[in-house]
Amino acid sequence: MKLRIRPDDLKTGPYHELIQNLTQQWIRTGLPSQGLTETDYRLTIRTLLLTTQDADRTSAIVQAVLAQAAALQKTSVWVDQELKFEGMIEGVDRADFLLLDLQQADKLDDTMLDSYNERINRFSSK
């Protein structure tokens, strides 16, 4: 039986190091911070790790979102939002959730479709 990662587990050891490394990767991307701080980055990554309960999955998500943010010239606010989104849909079918999101919209616009495409393609190999 796999033990659950708890908030206290994030204060020391390998989880603490992972959070620090991912935070530094985020900072090194040089994305406009738009008021977010290193503490904000760390909190978002900690929350994602507690949600996924998997260090490797958390690392893959953060790296994919950061790579996409750099390629699409996004901001750290966008990264923060997308990491929270990824945590929210962890454990549900990605394509079904994204399609449901589009279906529930009152009116589709380019921004919503762009967001759908960014999210659906985030983990696809190029």
Instruction: Please give the residue range of the domain that contains residue 26.
Output: 10-90
How is residue 102 written in tokens? 């589009």
Q: What are the tens digits of pLDDT across the range 62-107?
A: 999 999 999 999 999 999 999 999 999 887 777 888 888 888 888 8
How is residue 49 written in tokens? 């790790």
Neighbours of 30 (CB within 10 A): 9
Give this prediction's pTM.
Answer: 0.84
Residue 64 domain flag: yes
> Does residue 80 share a domain with residue 115?
no
Neighbours of 38 (CB within 10 A): 13
Q: Pick the more confident residue, 1 or 88.
A: 88
Residue 39 domain flag: yes
